[in-house]
Amino acid sequence: MYGLVNKAIQNMVCSRFGEETWKQIKHKAEVDVDVFLSMEGYPDDITHKLVKSASVVLSLSSKQIMQAFGEFWVQYTAQEGYGEMMDLSGDTLPEFLENLDNLHARVEVSFPKLQPPSFECTDMKENSLSLHYRSDRQGLTPMVIGLIKGLGTRFDTEVHITQTLNRDEGAEHDEFLVIYKPN
């Protein structure tokens, strides 16, 4: 994963729990990187170790951490210079979700080794849709739930998410029922 992801994890931990907690997490994870470079590629294993260690240090499940990180990621990337690109990807939650693959294609210009997930919206109704999530990476499904919640905040939209298919339980991909109501 790119350093931008690890920098965001660091930023989330430091802003919510303090610098000392971040140092404990890095030490427990045996990650000896002082500064993550946004555009630099790092092994996925580093990110997984950081999440696992944060889980122990913060007494939260990995799923809770990944979900919180997903929510944080929406705000963080907008502040890190991707807000305009996000603005161009949709004016409403369903429009943005439909354009996620296009957004990732634009991001790939800056991050050529990016391995983005794929998102597909089906069964679109007035206030609901099915979101299909496909990724080569394991363990990021809780982050998707957080991302959708974070996007709900971004679009001032109340969101309820239910996972309807789970790759960990043998499904070909993950699927979510997203029910939304603009405020």
CA atoms of 11 and 7, how far apart (whole Å):
6
147: nearest Cα among 90, 42, 68, 33:
68
Average pLDDT of span 81-93: 92
CA atoms of 132 and 177, how far apart (whole Å):
9
Tell me the torsion sign for CA atoms 24, 27, 30, 36: positive
- The yes-or-no verdict on residue 81 having pLDDT over 90 is no
In this prediction, residue 111 carries a pLDDT of 83
- The yes-or-no verdict on residue 51 having pLDDT over 90 is yes
* % of the chain beyond a pLDDT of 70: 100
CA atoms of 12 and 9, how far apart (whole Å):
5
- The yes-or-no verdict on residue 89 having pLDDT over 90 is yes
Average pLDDT of span 160-166: 97
- The yes-or-no verdict on residue 123 having pLDDT over 90 is yes
Average pLDDT of span 153-175: 96
Region class of 139: left (phi > 0), else alpha (psi between -120 and 50), else beta: left
- The yes-or-no verdict on residue 119 having pLDDT over 90 is yes
In this prediction, residue 35 carries a pLDDT of 93
CA atoms of 180 and 18, how far apart (whole Å):
34
Q: Where are the beta strands (DSSP E) in 94-156?
A: 118-122, 128-134
SS3 content of the chain, % helix, strand, coil (to 5): 55, 15, 30
CA atoms of 56 and 79, how far apart (whole Å):
29
pTM > 0.75: yes or no: yes
Confidence of residue 108 (pLDDT cuts 50, 70, 90): confident
* % of the chain beyond a pLDDT of 90: 83
